[in-house]
A = this chain, B = another copy of it.
């Protein structure tokens, strides 16, 4: 029996993640039943849970894909660019599901650990970039880097919440200018 190639496996994994993400966005975490996950991915539960241990693992992997993309943008262009990208192109339903799920961070230690790992890539990228910017003399000198980083993270959280509630995004460009300017010299 021929072994399934790695490419096939990766492709299958991507197919599951794309469907699962759409399903979580549409129905929320609780509403994304196994039956709906099957419909949205076009695969059987057996196939889905061959690749992912359980629904939590599936959700975290879908969120992980975002985190990888965000960390790359942060490394190259900074956290404010992540916010500008969100303004231009975000899926409020998917953000809303992340909001719904973030409630569990307080009460579920395993989920909290997995989520923290997801955020670590972003905050490391942000710290490194701020460090380079400070060396380049771009940032204000009178506030320490951890405070600047927390300030940017707070603005990002606020933006995610704003968009997840379906609030208008078209008047936020000058607000992000203000955020950016507040950390600069």
**A binding-site residues for B, Cβ under 8 Å:** 28, 92-93, 96-97, 99-100, 102-103, 105-106, 112, 143-144, 146-148, 150-151, 153-162, 164-167, 171-172, 174-175, 178-179, 181-183
Of B92, B112, B161, the contact of A106 (CB 8 Å cutoff): B92
Bound together, the chains give a CA A143 to CA B147 distance in angstroms of 24
Bound together, the chains give a CA A182 to CA B152 distance in angstroms of 13
A102-B154 in contact given A143-B174, A143-B178, A174-B147 (Cβ < 8 Å)? no
Report yes or no: A99 in contact with B96, Cβ–Cβ below 8 A. no
- Of A97, A144, A162, the most chain B CB neighbours within 10 A belong to A162
State the oligomeric state as a number of copies: 2
Q: How far is the CB of A179 from chain B (nearest CB, A)?
A: 7
| Chain B residues with CB below 8 A from A144, complex form | 174
Report yes or no: B174 in contact with A102, Cβ–Cβ below 8 A. no
Report yes or no: A179 in contact with B166, Cβ–Cβ below 8 A. no
Report yes or no: A150 in contact with B172, Cβ–Cβ below 8 A. yes
Report yes or no: B151 in contact with A162, Cβ–Cβ below 8 A. no
Of B96, B158, B171, the contact of A157 (CB 8 Å cutoff): B158
Q: From A173, which residue of chain B is reached at the shortest CB distance?
A: B147
Q: How far is the CB of A182 from chain B (nearest CB, A)?
A: 4
Q: How far is the CB of A184 from chain B (nearest CB, A)?
A: 11
